[in-house]
Amino acid sequence: MHPPLCDCPLEAVLELSHSARNPNREFYSCPLKKIKGKKECGYFKWFDVHALEVRERNLVREVANLRMKLADVEEENKQLRLQLRRCEVVDQPCSSSITRTSDSTETSMLEAISQLSYRMSRVEGKLGLR
């Protein structure tokens, strides 16, 4: 996981909190803080909060990708159903095995999306967005 950028913007560095409220909790701060004579930007972010934010961004991206894939599968399914219907209309034997395969793919994608949505809501809950 990449560290966040401070407001300078430089790669933030990890430090350990020694406060009474947050003992031993890691946080990110401006790297210039440790360099004498340099003015730091005052950046601050808890490490666990950053980790959750990164995870949330990845989940959002994953869900978007799955939705796109699902749209493709749905379109493919639609075309196959049309094909099947055409075969039925002209009373020709038509292979429906592809349609069935596509159906199961669609189901597994829907399951994956609902799982990801659930994970997303949990991550958002931890972040206090919901």
Residues lying near Zn ion in the complex (CB under 5 A) are found at 6, 8, 30, 41
Q: Of 105, 76, 104, nearest to 84 (Cα)?
A: 76
CB 33, min distance to Zn ion, A: 8
For the chain, where are the alpha helices, taking DSSP H only?
47-89, 97-127
CB 49, min distance to Zn ion, A: 18
Task: Between 6 and 80, name the residue whose CB sits nearer to Zn ion.
Answer: 6
CB 108, min distance to Zn ion, A: 45
Task: Between 41 and 84, name the residue whose CB sits nearer to Zn ion.
Answer: 41
Q: Quote the CA–CA distance of 39 and 65 in Å, as a whole number.
A: 42
Q: Quote the CA–CA distance of 113 and 104 in Å, as a whole number.
A: 14
